[in-house]
Amino acid sequence: MAKSLVFTVATDGYDQAFARNITSHRRYAKKYGHDYQLVSGPGSDVLNREVAWLKIPLLIGAIDAGYESIMFVDGDAAIQKKCPNFEALFEDGYDAYLANGHSGRPNSGVIIIKSTTEVKAMLERVLQGYGKPLASIDSVGWGENGYVIHELRKYERFKNVSLKWNNTWDIKLKDYIRHYTGPMRKLYEFSVSERQAWDEICSRPKIKGEGFLTNGRDFFEALSTLYSRVTNDTPCFSAFDFSWCGFPKSRRSDLSVGKLTVHSCVNIDEMDPDNPYSMELAKGLRLSGANVITGADGFWDLDYSKIDVLHIQWMEVLCGWKAPTEEMVEKIEHRIQEIAETTKIVFTFHNLLPKKDFGRLGFKLLDIVAMYASAFIHLSNESIAKIKEQYKGCEWVEKDNHYVCRHGDFDYYRMVEEDWPELTQLDGSGSTVLVFGGIRNKDELDFSLNVGDKLAQQGHNLILAGPVSDEAMHWKERKGIQNPERSKILRLHQRVQNEHVKALLKKADVVLIPRAERLNSGVVFLAHSFGVPVVCSDEVTLSESLNVTRGVVYRKNNVDDAVNAILSVFKREQLEKIENEAACFLFKKKCMSWISIADQHLKIYQSV
Torsion of CA 41, 45, 51, 53, to 10 degrees: -130
Q: Residue range 454-467: average pLDDT?
A: 95
pLDDT for the residue 250? 39
pLDDT for the residue 206? 60
pLDDT for the residue 412? 86
514 — pLDDT class (breaks 50, 70, 90) = very high
Least confident of 37-51, 429-443, 549-563: 37-51
Condensed to tens digits (0 to 9), the pLDDT of residues 294-318 reads 999 899 989 999 999 999 999 999 9
Condensed to tens digits (0 to 9), the pLDDT of residues 152-190 reads 999 999 999 999 999 999 999 999 999 999 888 989 999
Output 46 or 390, whichever has higher pLDDT. 390
The Cα 123–Cα 244 span in angstroms is 9
What average pLDDT does the chain have? 90
Residue 593 has pLDDT above 80, yes or no: yes
The Cα 8–Cα 76 span in angstroms is 10
Q: Residue range 245-267: average pLDDT?
A: 65
Residue 271 has pLDDT above 90, yes or no: no
- Rounded to two decimals, what is the model's pTM? 0.58
pLDDT for the residue 1? 66
Residues near 202 by beta carbon (within 8 Å), at least 6 away in sequence: none
Residue among 366, 373, 359, 365 nearest 390 (CA): 366
Q: Residue range 534-550: average pLDDT?
A: 90
Under DSSP, the state recorded for 439 is B
The Cα 149–Cα 162 span in angstroms is 17
Condensed to tens digits (0 to 9), the pLDDT of residues 547-563 reads 889 999 999 999 999 99
pLDDT for the residue 256? 36
What is the Rg, in whole angstroms, of the alpha carbon atoms belonging to the chain?
Answer: 27
pLDDT for the residue 419? 86
Q: Residue range 441-457: average pLDDT?
A: 95
Residue 92 has pLDDT above 60, yes or no: yes
Which runs of E-coded beta strand occur in 422-531? 432-436, 461-465, 489-492, 510-513
Q: Angle 442-456/559-570 helices, nearest 10 degrees?
A: 50
Output 399 or 564, whichever has higher pLDDT. 564
pLDDT for the residue 220? 85
Residue 285 has pLDDT above 70, yes or no: yes
DSSP-assigned beta bridge partners for residue 436: 465
Residue 135 has pLDDT above 70, yes or no: yes
φ, ψ for residue 209, nearest 5 deg = 110, 125
Residue among 293, 238, 73, 104 nearest 166 (CA): 73
253 — pLDDT class (breaks 50, 70, 90) = very low
96-99 vs 110-114, strand pairing mode: antiparallel
Q: Residue range 564-586: average pLDDT?
A: 92
φ, ψ for residue 159, nearest 5 deg = -115, 120
Percent of the chain scoring above 70 in pLDDT: 95
pLDDT for the residue 573? 93
Residue 214 has pLDDT above 80, yes or no: no
Q: Are 606 and 347 in contact (CB under 8 A)?
A: no
The residue type at 55: K
Residue 261 has pLDDT above 70, yes or no: yes
Residue 584 has pLDDT above 50, yes or no: yes
Q: Residue range 86-111: average pLDDT?
A: 95
Condensed to tens digits (0 to 9), the pLDDT of residues 486-512 reads 999 999 999 899 999 999 999 999 999
Condensed to tens digits (0 to 9), the pLDDT of residues 395-435 reads 899 888 999 999 999 988 887 778 898 999 998 899 999 99
pLDDT for the residue 41? 87
Residue 287 has pLDDT above 90, yes or no: no
Residue 238 has pLDDT above 90, yes or no: yes
φ, ψ for residue 4, nearest 5 deg = -135, 150
pLDDT for the residue 255? 33
Residue among 13, 534, 11, 3 nearest 222 (CA): 11
The Cα 50–Cα 8 span in angstroms is 16
Q: Angle 117-128/55-64 helices, nearest 10 degrees?
A: 150
The Cα 143–Cα 54 span in angstroms is 10
